Amino acid sequence: MKSKKSLILAVVALVVAVAVLVTVYFVTRPETSEGGKSFILTVVHSDGTQKAFDYTTNAEFLGDFLVEQGVVEIGDVDDGMFAYADGEKAVYEENGCYWGFYVNGSYATVGLFDTPIEDGTVYELRYEDGSSWS
């Protein structure tokens, strides 16, 4: 009998914990804004060359918009990351490199696909060598 009560209490505690985590996520997630937003995206390639893209859009999230524009391609990466930026591939598991994502010059705190587009923001994708990490 005591074991059954413990199991019920554990399930209730788990449900409450999940509800709290979901609530925290929705309260703290980045907000999107409606309407036209202008921003600049700079892609810094492995050879140091840069290409700037100047956009105006009503889209809400950066990653989805850049995929639609053909600037970013998912490739065969299946973890929510992207493999190609402006036609160049960087996949850590293959070549020790990755695309660093920066917002207004600072390393981004959320991923490309979770970043709301903000008017006047400068986004940057930098080809970076992470092979020295190992």
pLDDT at residue 18 is higher than 70:
no
Task: Give the tokens for residue 95.
Answer: 């070549």
Contact (Cβ atoms closer than 8 angstroms) between residue 63 and residue 111: yes
Bridge partners, residue 100, by sequence: 126
pLDDT at residue 26 is higher than 70:
no
Instruction: For residue 40, give the nearest of 27, 51, 28, 49 by alpha carbon.
Output: 51
User: Which pTM was predicted?
Assistant: 0.70
Task: Give the tokens for residue 52.
Answer: 């700037």
Say what the pLDDT of residue 36 is: 83
Specify the 3-state DSSP secondary structure of 17. helix
59-103 pLDDT per residue, tens: 999 999 999 999 999 876 555 578 899 999 988 888 889 999 999
One-letter identity of residue 124 = E
